[in-house]
Structure 1
Amino acid sequence: MFTKHEPRFALPILLVLAFFIPTFFITPSLAAAVDESLSSPYSVSQAIANQDSTVKTVSGYVTGQPTSDNTVVTSGYPNDYAIALADSPSETSNAKMVYVQIPSSFRSEFGLKTNPSLKGKKITVTGTLSAYFTHPGLKDVSAMFSGNDSPEPETPWVGSYYDSASGKSGLALKNALHQIIDDHSEISYSNVWDALRKTDEDPNNTNNVILLYTGRSQLKTMNGSGVNDWNREHVWAKSHGDFGTTLGPGTDLHHLRPTDVSVNSTRNNLDFDNGGSEHTEAIGNYYDSDSWEPRDSVKGDVARMLFYMAVRYEGDSGEVDLELNNQVNNGTAPYHGKLAVLLQWNEQDPVDAFERNRNEIIYDQYQHNRNPFIDHPEWASAIWQ
């Protein structure tokens, strides 16, 4: 366990350059290679034949979990650390499989211990063609997608929506974004239940939602106040500004997420920071008397939700003025921390497909405004330098 303020990991710089930076920052030859990989992913047989340490996108069917160079288990999965892919869902020959090492940020969604129903499903993975368990493999994975479609390059949201923010930074950028996202449709707190059933739907099981802190897939109808139910978590704690569940900040879907009732109770109104004791039910989450540290794969999600709230709610039109600071124990003051840690988490846990899908649903079906920091995560450091 790390102590407070100590970052856990850093994104591999080469993968950031190869996958996340817009193509106008990439040399023409590298941009062409990235685009080609995305539009024409390798088959598993191609990946096995080209173990040359290049970054490639590979599509295949999940056949099990590799536990050694010649063993792939198909049930009783020991953990979420790896999967085996083949060109056929019924493949049993290890020689025709590629082993994928799953980074921590993707384990809750693609690990077989947590998601045994993934066996036989087709997924697409971007990573480095390099041996794993001394077997043809994919390591340093930067993207994983379910289904038959190839992943799309992670480019900023296009259109005229953000035109007025172009070229700005600091307070000018913050003000411009506030004006863009300020006006939106509001829903009642009772209607948040049904909205979360859509925004947080499990992509592998449409009957379920994914709970924020535990990563557990749970029946959409298993909500309420029971100890194992899910309820509505205000990621920006509603006592920080004392806005409760009123229209506006109290019902804003961009920071409301389904969470386990007892885990939500433990998180309570704690600020966010690194450190503490691991939660016995929400493994990978840590807490102490003044802060909560979410699991690695949603650290960036939490940061970008708080960035949104600090920009959307600026005290105009009679609303509360929410601001980020570098403190904990903010209590009922309209502040949330710690900003420096949130900026680290924004870098460490990049935007994923689940976040982008939430943003689209909220924009299209409910509030008709967007979270700018999902579309442009780089704007966080441009505002809070």
Structure 2
Amino acid sequence: MPTTAPLAVRPATRVRATTLTALLLAALVAVIALGAATARTASAAAPLTVSQAIATQNGTSQTVRGYVVGEPVATSTVNRSGFTGDLAIAIADTASQTDTTKMLYVQLTTQWRSAWGLRTNPSLMGRLIDTTGPLTAYFSHAGLKSPTAISSVGSTPTPTPTGTATPTPTPTPTSTGGTDTYYAAALGKSGTALRSALHGIISKQTVLTYDQVWDALKDTDQDPANSNNVIEIYSGRSIAKSNNGGGVDQWNREHVWAKSHGDFGTANGPGTDVHHLRPEDVTVNSDRGNLDFDNGGSAVNQCSDCWRDADSFEPRDAVKGDVARMILYMAVRYEGGDGWPDLEPNESVANGSAPSIGKLSVLKAWSSGDPPDAFEKRRNDRIHAQWQGNRNPFVDHPEWVMSIWP
């Protein structure tokens, strides 16, 4: 008698069980994904208030919402009109806030300045914005530095950085050909025509305040071997960035073109131009005083590689070219416009308060004998990219020294 085949019940049961399990797993994954998406949405929809950001100065990157209330120019000073630059904005939880302790200072790096700087865009005052970046001190004040995003809140259109829809760092020109666009109007010229063209180019700059110079020097003169320190120009000593001031063994702001030569003092412009301001030991700075530059003399206290006599100062060999190129930059940059003096090097070492400094022949020899090194080139790049938006042409093209002053 033939055997009857068993009914195929078990396989069907297994199929139904497997299908049910798959459906349950899919539902679970969907719930988890929805929860994650909801969490992300909730997080994105809740930027910090300014007061929360002030209390969270721990270096973490956060989005902060606040009203633009002015331009920070010092630790406790914010311009609410008469804006002088595009380097920073202050935001607060209310548009009418005037107490600087309740403001967050937002650094504007190069790509944000044309769109968000108050000197260029004074109408931004009172606008509600979101800005994203690390919460850390700026101007020795609660701040947000190097923002990665800035946008308006509400119906006001959001400005975008010039020439780009997505904020990206401005490429830093090099001194090996990458500056041709910057110097386009000067290329091929010589003598007085070259000087005139360079003046027109480098005069387009952001003017710093004397307080802002402290922060600038901590960046431009940073010790390559220790990011917590700066290098003093004459002594060559590496010293903590925080050890600045007017005390013995501290560093202060040395005017390489002595500020009494032309009597411009610390006025915004020649008195605050970082292309000729450098960190230096307080005692050595005092020993240099307002002396002209020349060779010879006796060793300087705390700077055995520097020399001075009654009417001149000689820096150490490693920065003689730096000094020369800073002096020659000042001569081309400041030609008597905007109420500033017409600065010019000459062959005297007894210039006093005249807008002149010497000796030109020695400075030319120093520039030739000590060409730009990596430190000087980086410094030029940082001033251009981060602080003033202009360059020292004699760092990029040392050969232009002899073309202008043959």
TM-score normalized by structure 1? 0.60
Cα distance in structure 1, aligned partners of 2:269 and 2:177: 26
Matched residue SS, 1:163? coil
The match for 1:197 among 215, 218, 225 is 218
> Which of the residues 323, 331, 336 maps onto 1:315?
336
CA contact (8 A) 1:156 1:376 kept: no
Alpha-carbon distance in 1 for matches of 2:194, 2:177? 16
Contact 2:175 2:396 in 1 (8 A): no
Deviation, 1:339, is 0.3
Call closer, same or farther: CA 1:156–1:240 in 2, change over 3 Å: farther
- The answer to whether the Cα contact below 8 Å between 1:185 and 1:366 also exists between their aligned partners in 2 is yes
- 1:348 is aligned to 369
Shift of residue 239, structure 1, vs aligned partner:
0.1
Query: What is the aligned counterpart of 2:282 among 261, 280, 297?
Result: 261
List alignment gaps of at least 5 residues for structure 2. Answer: 1-173
Give the match for residue 187 of structure 2.
Answer: 166
Counterpart of 1:228 in structure 2 is: 249
C-alpha distance 156-299 of structure 1, shift in aligned 2 (>3 A): farther
Q: Structure 1 stretches of 5 or more lacking a match?
A: 1-152
- Of the candidates 289, 302, 306, which is equivalent to residue 285 of structure 1? 306
Q: Partners in 1 of 2:189 and 2:175 — Cα distance?
A: 22
The answer to whether residue 228 in structure 2 is matched with residue 245 in structure 1 is no
Contact 1:270 1:292 survives alignment (8 Å): yes
2:401 corresponds to which residue? 380
Task: Give the distance between the partners of 1:296 and 1:282, measured in 2 at CA.
Answer: 12
Q: Which amino acid aligns with 2:324?
A: A
Give the 5 Å matches for 1:62-81. Answer: none
The alpha-carbon distance between structure 1 residues 176 and 154, as it changes in their structure 2 partners (threshold 3 A), is closer
Higher RCO, Cα 8 Å, sep 6+? 1
Residues 201-243 of structure 1: per-residue CA shift (max 9 Å, x gap): 0010001000000000000000101110000000000000000
Q: Given the superposition, is the C-alpha separation of residues 321 and 283 from structure 1 closer, same or farther in structure 2, using an over 3 Å criterion?
A: same
Cα distance change of structure 1 residues 165 and 264 upon mapping to structure 2, 3 Å threshold: same
Q: Counterpart of 1:364?
A: 385
8 A Cα contact 2:207 2:269, kept in partner: yes
Contact 2:251-2:282 at 8 Å conserved across structures: yes
| Counterpart in the other structure of 1:15 | none
Equivalent in the alignment of 1:334? 355
Task: Please list every run of at least 4 consecutive aligned residues from structure 1 whose deviation after the TM superposition is greater than 4 angstroms.
Answer: none
The structural deviation recorded for 1:158 is 2.8
SS of residue paired to 1:324? strand
Residue 271 of structure 1 corresponds to which residue in structure 2?
A: 292
**Could you tell me how far 1:316 is from its partner in structure 2?**
1.6
**What residue is the counterpart of 2:197 in the other structure?**
176
Deviation, 1:157, is 4.2
- Tell me the amino acid that sits aligned with residue 272 of structure 1: F
SS of residue paired to 1:300: helix
Contact 2:175 2:395 in 1 (8 A): no
C-alpha distance in structure 1 between counterparts of 2:214 and 2:338, whole Å: 27
Report the residue type matching 1:246 in the other structure.
A
Percent of aligned positions that are identical: 61
For residues 321 and 267 of structure 1, do their structure 2 counterparts lie closer, same or farther at Cα, with a shift above 3 Å needed? same
Residue number in structure 1 paired with 2:323: 302
SS at match of 1:317: coil
1:138-153 correspondence to structure 2 within 5 Å: none
Distance 1:193-1:175 versus aligned 2 partners, 3 A rule: same
The aligned amino acid for 1:382 is S
Conservation of the 8 A alpha-carbon contact between 2:175 and 2:377: no
Q: Could you say which structure has the larger radius of gyration?
A: 2
Q: Which amino acid aligns with 2:231?
A: I
Match of 2:56 in 1: none
8 Å CA contact 1:209, 1:220 repeated in 2: yes
TM-score relative to the length of structure 2? 0.56
Instruction: In structure 1, give the amino acid aligned to 2:267.
Output: T
The two structures, once aligned, show a CA RMSD in angstroms of: 1.1
